[in-house]
């Protein structure tokens, strides 16, 4: 403990951005809390008299690192599943008790948002490294344990103050209450504050003190063989790709992440997207070198804020501008030479083609993608290694058709990936629920509003799971083609199975470093085509026409109707359009039909087919004799109404294979 008569200080901050004040550790913290509904934070560590003088002069604790604490502190967080954090808290508390710490001397707090804090006040003073090592020795293998809290300037929310994001208080919990109550009950109790728990300072047993000095870990050996440059996106150099994959030593983390952030900024990444990419790189680096993760606060405050500042003049870092220590690592340890290009064998011999086709033909059943729409499947043969464009006006039913194709492929036992950059996961689930139940949205919502309908909810979830097995869905927005490719490769490496169908909804939602619209769309289309070829998958790309094309009732009979560049059609092996001639928001009685035109087909003829359509379930089928007559009557009526409309007349006569 501190020397007799020595005064130590805690730092108290009102709000995270506050520099704070230093208050003696002998004073009651509560007297400084003016309003418990506001954010207050207190340091884990204590500052001595000399450090207080420095703080009083410069107004910040930045740079002060030789601080101490008598608090053995743990933080368990999981934003997606706080219950997991609760389980890890219970495990840690049990270990402390097993090691001789009385449960009456263990402080536990619900943090007010996504986790729990555990504190044991001891009769020892520890440096940040020592308290971290002890905590890691107890909880280091637990998934929600946060090792980033032990930096010298760290502050924790003051007990019994309200979290501004959730309106829950950070409340004290007894050991018995932790094990007895579930998370919902704890949150319910966190709607008000309570008197803090009083504990005694304890002597830590030798079983815990043994962790104070961390055993030195052997440095992980990595070489260029561990870095698969064949997966490197074109926009990154080998050195920068190495950083992205976590190949940079712990002492160069700051420099490496600044290089990567500057590159991402140059590629047009938003601050948020760049932050998550850097966070992923830092996590990979931590795993490769068995080192502590670069904290998310440091990434945001020291890297993102600097690189995305309006005063940033660092450019994107060519090889000549990269730090010497990083250069030495890339060249001498990874074996990546300056200006190294990735060798790609662009040429194939006839034997290569034979072997590739033999494998393709042998597995043609698996390589065939069926739409589940019989007239369409009879008109066009879709396979893997194709980029397939599905063209339709907004609300024409593109996503419905895509979901039908996904279902048919998944039910064959093949893997499917759906990148929904337009519709949220809630809307996609609603669409799927309507599709499998045949019920409207109001009915679906009623099952989830009524707690007595839990069995019906489970039934819907099971129906969706049964209809879409082997299906993975991604709802991240503004993904690049490189992001999509990386996700597909990772999925294949994880499962050992190739994804047969990739659905991208839709083209204009894909991000690119190219800003000029025509060049951007052209590049995206070519890159998606490369994914289809290289990963031997079918890529179904949803496309929209320009506004001049009209509403979903107007036929789309030329691939010139694709919004954007003609190079999209050139990149596609097949282009299929769809429209609903009975579409009319004011009168839905005739909206029972959907038509498809095969506008481009590298492997066969062009065609047009008419089908029945159920807007509620998205079910598409063959027309019976009566439906064919009704559709013909509808078309004749539309032609009479639109005789004076030259645009419509020219559009309906421009497709030679159309027949009624």
- The residues, any chain, with a CB within 8 Å of residue 131's CB and separated by 6 or more, are 44, 69, 71, 72, 73, 150
Other beta carbons within 10 angstroms of residue 33's beta carbon come to 17
pLDDT recorded at residue 660: 26
Q: pLDDT digit string (tens) for 315-327?
A: 777 777 787 788 8
Task: Answer yes or no: is pLDDT of 551 > 50.
Answer: yes
Q: φ and ψ at 252, to 5 degrees?
A: -115, 20
pLDDT recorded at residue 493: 63
Which of 531, 605, 609, 615 is CA-nearest to residue 571?
Answer: 531
CB 506 within 8 A of CB 398: yes
CB 265 within 8 A of CB 273: no
pTM over 0.75: no
Q: What is the mean pLDDT of residues 32-50?
A: 91
The residues spanned by each domain of the chain are: 9-209, 224-333, 364-653
CB 218 within 8 A of CB 256: no
CB 115 within 8 A of CB 125: no
Q: How far apart are CA 431 and CA 429, in angstroms?
A: 5
* DSSP H helices in 17-100: 49-58, 82-98
Task: Answer yes or no: is pLDDT of 600 > 90.
Answer: yes
Q: What is the mean pLDDT of residues 629-650?
A: 74
Q: How far apart are CA 10 and CA 23, in angstroms?
A: 5
Angle at CA 147, nearest 5°, toward 16 and 21?
30
Q: How far apart are CA 420 and CA 414, in angstroms?
A: 19
CB 137 within 8 A of CB 80: no
Other beta carbons within 10 angstroms of residue 432's beta carbon come to 22
DSSP summary character for residue 2 = P
* Sign (positive or negative) of CA dihedral 190, 195, 200, 201: positive
pLDDT recorded at residue 205: 93
Domain 9-209 -> CATH class: alpha beta
DSSP summary character for residue 560 = G
Q: How far apart are CA 109 and CA 335, in angstroms?
A: 49
Q: What is the mean pLDDT of residues 159-168?
A: 90
Which of 578, 581, 579 is CA-nearest to residue 628?
Answer: 581
- The residues, any chain, with a CB within 8 Å of residue 13's CB and separated by 6 or more, are 19, 20, 40, 41, 42, 155
Task: Answer yes or no: is pLDDT of 645 > 90.
Answer: no
Q: pLDDT digit string (tens) for 463-515?
A: 999 999 999 999 988 788 888 988 888 787 677 788 999 999 988 888 887 77
C-alpha separations of 44 from 154, 506, 566 in Å: 6, 48, 61
Instruction: Say if residue 218 is exposed, middle or buried (CB neighbours under 10 Å; 0-12, 13-18, 19+).
Output: exposed
Task: Answer yes or no: is pLDDT of 219 > 50.
Answer: no
C-alpha separations of 87 from 72, 139, 188 in Å: 19, 12, 18
CB 243 within 8 A of CB 319: no
CB 631 within 8 A of CB 593: yes
Other beta carbons within 10 angstroms of residue 657's beta carbon come to 11
Q: pLDDT digit string (tens) for 601-627?
A: 998 999 999 999 988 888 899 999 999
- The residues, any chain, with a CB within 8 Å of residue 323's CB and separated by 6 or more, are 252, 255, 259
The tokens describing 502, both together, are 């990739």
CB 228 within 8 A of CB 242: no
Sheet order of strands, 21-24 included? 21-24, 9-14, 40-43, 155-157
More confident residue, 589 or 215: 589
Which of 394, 387, 425 is CA-nearest to residue 535?
Answer: 387
Q: What is the mean pLDDT of residues 512-529?
A: 85
* DSSP H helices in 335-453: 350-362, 364-367, 374-377, 398-411, 425-437, 441-449
Q: pLDDT digit string (tens) for 371-396?
A: 989 999 999 999 999 999 999 999 89
In what helix (H) or strand (E) does residue 133 lie, and over which residues does it extend?
helix 128-139
Q: How far apart are CA 261 and CA 273, in angstroms?
A: 10
The tokens describing 476, both together, are 């991240």
Per-residue b or e along 383-392, where b marks 16 or more CB atoms closer than 10 Å to that residue's CB? bbbbbbbbbb
Q: How far apart are CA 177 and CA 169, in angstroms?
A: 16
Q: What is the mean pLDDT of residues 248-252?
A: 82
How high is the mean pLDDT of the chain? Answer: 86
Give me the DSSP letters along 458-487.
Answer: HHHHHHHHHHSTTEEEE--SS-BHHHHHHH
Q: What is the mean pLDDT of residues 520-527?
A: 88
Look up tokens 């209809």; give the residue: 467
Look up tokens 């009950």; give the residue: 185
The tokens describing 169, both together, are 């208080």
Highest mean pLDDT among 305-314, 356-365, 461-470: 461-470
The 3-state DSSP class for residue 424 equals coil
Q: Are strands 593-601 and 387-391 parallel, antiparallel or unpaired?
A: unpaired
Q: What is the mean pLDDT of residues 247-269?
A: 86
Look up tokens 């495990």; give the residue: 91
Domain 364-653 -> CATH class: alpha beta
Q: Among 218-222, 230-234, 621-625, name the one with the lowest average pLDDT.
A: 218-222
The 3-state DSSP class for residue 12 equals strand
In what helix (H) or strand (E) does residue 659 lie, and over which residues does it extend?
none
Cis link prior to 647 (omega < 30° from 0)?
A: no
Angle at CA 268, nearest 5°, toward 265 and 274?
50
Q: pLDDT digit string (tens) for 629-638?
A: 999 999 998 8
Other beta carbons within 10 angstroms of residue 595's beta carbon come to 20
Q: pLDDT digit string (tens) for 267-286?
A: 778 888 899 899 989 988 88
pLDDT recorded at residue 495: 73
Q: How many helices (H) and strands (E) does the chain have?
A: 24, 19
Task: Answer yes or no: is pLDDT of 642 > 90.
Answer: no
SS (H, E, C) 566-617: CHHHHHCCEEEEEECCCCCCCCHHHCCEEEEEEEEECCCCCEEEEEEEECCC
Which of 158, 123, 160, 117 is CA-nearest to residue 23?
Answer: 158
- Per CATH, 9-209 and 364-653 having the same topology is answered no
Which of 58, 43, 38, 37 is CA-nearest to residue 12?
Answer: 43
Q: pLDDT digit string (tens) for 392-437?
A: 999 899 999 999 999 999 999 899 999 998 889 999 999 999 999 9
């Amino acid at each position: 403990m501190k020397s007799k008569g020595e005064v130590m200080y805690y730092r108290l901050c009102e709000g995270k951005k506050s520099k704070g004040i230093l208050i003696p550790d002998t004073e009651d913290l509560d007297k400084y809390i003016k309003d418990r509904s506001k954010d207050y934070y207190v340091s884990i560590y204590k500052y001595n008299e000399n450090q207080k003088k420095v703080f009083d002069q410069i107004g910040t604790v930045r740079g002060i690192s030789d601080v101490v604490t008598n608090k053995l502190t743990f933080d368990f967080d999981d934003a997606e599943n706080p219950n997991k954090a609760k389980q890890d808290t219970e495990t840690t508390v049990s270990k402390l008790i097993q090691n001789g710490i009385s449960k009456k001397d263990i402080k536990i707090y619900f943090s007010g948002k996504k986790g729990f804090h555990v504190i044991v006040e001891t009769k020892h003073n520890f440096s940040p490294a020592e308290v971290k090592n002890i905590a890691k020795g107890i909880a280091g293998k637990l998934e929600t344990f946060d090792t980033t809290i032990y930096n010298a300037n760290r502050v924790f929310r003051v007990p019994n103050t309200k979290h501004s994001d959730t309106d829950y208080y950070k409340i004290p919990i007894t050991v018995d209450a932790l094990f007895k109550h579930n998370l919902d009950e704890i949150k319910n109790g966190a709607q008000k504050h309570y008197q803090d728990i009083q504990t005694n300072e304890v002597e830590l047993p030798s079983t815990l003190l043994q962790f104070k000095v961390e055993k030195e870990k052997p440095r992980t050996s990595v070489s260029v063989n561990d870095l698969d440059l064949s997966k490197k996106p074109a926009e990154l150099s080998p050195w920068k790709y190495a950083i992205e994959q976590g190949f940079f030593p712990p002492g160069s983390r700051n420099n490496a992440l600044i290089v990567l952030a500057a590159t991402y900024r140059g590629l047009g990444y938003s601050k948020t997207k760049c932050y998550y990419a850097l966070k992923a790189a830092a996590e990979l680096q931590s795993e490769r070198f068995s080192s502590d993760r670069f904290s998310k606060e440091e990434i945001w405050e020291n890297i993102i804020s600097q690189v995305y500042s309006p005063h940033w003049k660092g450019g994107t870092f060519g090889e000549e501008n990269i730090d010497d220590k990083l250069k030495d690592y890339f060249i001498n340890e990874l074996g990546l030479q300056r200006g190294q290009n990735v060798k790609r064998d662009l040429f194939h011999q006839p034997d290569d083609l034979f072997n590739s086709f033999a494998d393709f033909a042998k597995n043609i059943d698996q390589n065939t993608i069926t739409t589940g729409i019989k007239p369409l499947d009879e008109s066009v043969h879709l396979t893997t290694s194709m980029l397939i464009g599905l063209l339709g006006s907004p609300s024409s039913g593109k996503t419905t058709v895509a979901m039908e194709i996904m279902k048919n492929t998944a039910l064959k036992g093949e893997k499917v990936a759906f990148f929904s950059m337009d519709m949220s996961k809630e809307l996609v689930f609603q669409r799927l629920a309507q599709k499998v139940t045949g019920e409207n949205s109001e009915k679906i919502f009623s099952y989830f509003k009524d707690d007595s309908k839990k069995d019906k909810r489970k039934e819907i979830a099971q129906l969706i799971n049964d209809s879409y097995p082997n299906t993975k869905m991604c709802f991240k927005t503004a993904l690049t083609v490189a992001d999509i490719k990386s996700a597909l490769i990772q999925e294949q490496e994880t499962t050992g199975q190739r994804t047969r169908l990739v659905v991208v909804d839709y083209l204009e939602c894909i991000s690119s470093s190219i800003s000029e619209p025509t060049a951007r769309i052209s590049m995206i289309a070519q890159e998606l085509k490369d994914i289809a070829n290289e990963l031997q998958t079918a890529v179904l790309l949803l496309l929209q026409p320009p506004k001049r094309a009209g509403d979903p009732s107007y036929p789309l009979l030329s691939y010139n109707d694709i919004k954007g560049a003609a190079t999209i059609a050139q990149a596609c092996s097949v282009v299929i359009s769809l429209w609903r001639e009975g579409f009319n928001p004011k009168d839905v009685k005739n909206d029972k039909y959907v038509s498809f035109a095969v506008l481009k087909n590298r492997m066969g003829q062009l065609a047009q087919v008419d089908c029945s359509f159920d807007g509620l379930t998205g079910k598409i089928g063959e027309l019976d004799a009566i439906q064919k007559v009704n559709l013909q009557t509808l078309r004749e009526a539309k032609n009479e109404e639109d005789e004076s409309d030259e645009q419509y007349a020219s559009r309906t006569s421009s497709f030679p294979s159309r027949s009624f």
